[in-house]
Structures are given as structure tokens and as C-alpha cells.
Amino acid sequence: YEMQRSLVGSEMCIRDRKRRLGDMDILLWHEILEPYELAVKELQVKFRHLIKEHHGKGLYSPIESVSGRVKSVSSILEKMQRKGIAPEEMEEQVEDIAGIRIICQFVEDIEKVADLIQKRSDIEIKSEKDYIRHMKDSGYRSYHLIVYYTVETMNGPKRIQVEIQIRTMAMDFWATIEHSLQYKYKANIPDHIRERLSAAAKAIIVLDNEMSSVRSEIMDAQNSSQMQRNLITDILNNIENLYKVTNKREVEKIQDEFYHIYAQNDLQELKRFHKELDLIAEGYRAQAITDEL
Ligand code: 0O2
């Protein structure tokens, strides 16, 4: 609170977001942070939908998972104090009030995700920091984008900044551990731990490279299993729909055949069965329309 008071001097104001209370200006943090909370929620939904779209088409998704957070007030105040940012400049200068983290399986996916973001009409890239090509001294590796994103509020549209961090699972593992150590030791992580972290950062590079070398095999395996899941869902939907409109014995026979093919664990057979069932279902649909007419 003391820190906030010292930052929020009487001559410093964020227009429309402050109320005069005697001599003291109060920043309405809840009101300020609300659009950022909305942006984080919306962007998470949108990026998760991208994963769903890829999987729905039986495709490998360059995005493995998405998380987000709004920076805590104490963390914003700490950054403002550290960088000498005045309250009226907070929203422009503190670029990571809203943060989205996108986790990928492989280093190669990071560029693909950055391309996907660049092509979007609802996101405008302001700047980028490539801590993968230029690893930080700490050993930190990640790809950062500062973007503009517009949310709709009761007072109309509001364009805000969002930091998007894109990194592999391995990079994220390292950063999460290191971040918690930073929290524990503040700026003074003991040398022997620093050295270990540095060695671990190098091991992470080797691990990411090793995984990249078998990327196509891993992607093939994941594509096949996703395709198999989609086929099975489709087949079971078709069987369920047929059960409603046709002879139950016939459908039971079809179901038995499905179990038989499923047990063979042969993707090509499953595809063939899926196609045949589609034709049968299509026939019944056509028949139903004719009957209606
Ligand atoms: P949070 O919310 O706790 O993650 P800054 O480092 O903030 O002074 P800048 O230029 O604003 O400077 O941002 P930069 O360097 O792009 O880093 C922003 C965020 O990247 C940090 O947010 C971290 O999440 C992450 N990051 C950067 N460097 C490191 C690092 O050495 N280790 C780890 N684990 N993460 C790092 P904050 O501000 O820490 O806040």
C-alpha cells in the first residue's frame, strides 16, 4: 500500500480511472484490470479453439496447450518502480499486464504458431523478442510477442496490449523451475544453483534438438491416433443414428462388425468401414427425405 501511495502521487493521474479522495488519488485497479481479464479469457478460448480445429480435421496441432494470467497488482507495481514508470504511462509501458502462454511440443512449432498469430485479423503484432535465437544470460528461452488486441467493454472498444509467450514444453519446464527459484532468492540465486540451472538450460537445448530429430515420426503417430479417434467417434454417431431409424437387428450386426474391425487395430480397415457406413447412413437419409415428400 505504501509503495502504491508513493507511486500514485497527487500530480500523477490515469484519466477516467481515478477518483479524487481528499488529497489522495486512488487507482481503481479492479476497473483497470477488467479489460485485461476479458482479453486473457477471450484469447485462451480462441487459441484452444485452434487446437480443436486441428484435431477435428485429424491434423497435428502446433499448439499443445494454452494458459493465461493477468499480472498481479503487486507485480505491476514492482515493475513500475523498477523501471520508473509513471501511473499515467502504466498501460502503455507495462506491456505484459495480460499474458498468454502457448506451449508447443517442438521448437519448429513455435514459428508456425507465430505465423498463425501474424495472419489473424483480431491481433496486431507490436514487437517481438526472440529469446530462442538469443538466449538470456539466465538460460531463459522463449519467443515473446507483444500484441494489440481489442476487447468490447460497456464503454465501447478498448485496445490493449497482451504479451504472448511461445515456448516448448521443455523450455517451459526450465522457466517454471527457474521462476520459482527467482521468487525464493529474489535477485540472489546462489552461484551453485545458477550453475546447475545453466547446465540444465543446455540440457534442454539438447533435449529439444533430440525431439526435433524424430518430429516427423512423432507427428505421424499423433496424426494417426487423432484420425483413429475421429473415425471411431463418427462411426459410433452413425450407428447411434441408424439405431433410431432402422431395423435394430441390422444395426446390431453393424455394431458387431465394428467391434470386430476395431479389435484388428488396422486404420485402413477402420477407414473402409467408416466409408461403407457413411454410404449406408446416406441411403437412409435419402430414403427418409423421399418418405417425407
Ligand atoms: P511474471 O508475470 O511473473 O511472469 P522484465 O524482465 O519484465 O524486466 P521486459 O522487457 O518487460 O523485462 O520483459 P521480458 O524480458 O520480455 O520478460 C517478460 C516475461 O518473460 C517475464 O515476466 C517472465 O515471465 C519471462 N522471463 C523473462 N526473463 C526470464 C528469466 O530469466 N527466467 C524466467 N523464468 N522467466 C523470464 P515477469 O515480469 O517476470 O512476470
CA atoms within 13 A on the CB side of 241: 15
- Pocket lining: 150 vs ligand 1, CB cutoff 6 Å: no
pLDDT digit of tens for each residue in the chain (293 aa)?
A: 344 444 443 333 455 555 443 444 567 888 999 999 999 999 999 999 999 999 988 889 999 999 999 999 999 999 999 999 999 999 999 999 999 999 999 999 999 999 999 999 999 999 999 999 999 999 999 999 999 999 999 999 999 999 999 999 999 999 999 999 987 887 788 999 999 999 999 999 999 999 999 888 888 888 888 889 999 999 999 999 888 888 888 889 999 999 999 998 888 999 999 999 988 888 877 777 777 76
20 forms beta bridges with 25
- Which residue puts its alpha carbon closest to atom 22 of ligand 1? 96
Q: Name the residue of 134, 179, 193, 194 whose CB sits within 8 Å of the most ligand 1 atoms, as the mutation to test its pocket.
A: 179
Q: What is the pTM of this model?
A: 0.80
Query: Looking at the annotation, which residues are catalytic?
Result: 163
| Residue 99 to residue 79: CA distance in whole angstroms | 15
Please give the C-alpha separations between residue 65 and each of 113, 166, 218, in angstroms, as whole numbers.
12, 10, 17
Query: Kindly report the CA angle at 261 between 256 and 265, in degrees rounded to 5?
Result: 140
Long-range contacts of 197-203 (CB under 8 A, 24+ apart): 197/138, 197/139, 198/139, 200/139, 200/174, 201/135, 201/138, 201/139, 201/140, 201/141, 201/174, 202/139
99 Cα nearest atom in ligand 1? 2
> How many residues are there in the chain?
293
CA dihedral 224, 230, 233, 239 (to 10 degrees): -90
Cell of 280: 449406408
| Residue 40 to residue 68: CA distance in whole angstroms | 6
- Pocket lining: 179 vs ligand 1, CB cutoff 6 Å: yes
> What pLDDT sits at residue 187?
75
Task: Please tell me whether residue 41 adopts helix, strand or coil conformation.
Answer: helix
- Pocket lining: 93 vs ligand 1, CB cutoff 6 Å: no
- Pocket lining: 140 vs ligand 1, CB cutoff 6 Å: yes
| Residue 53 to residue 68: CA distance in whole angstroms | 20
Residue given cell 482479453 in the structure block: 39
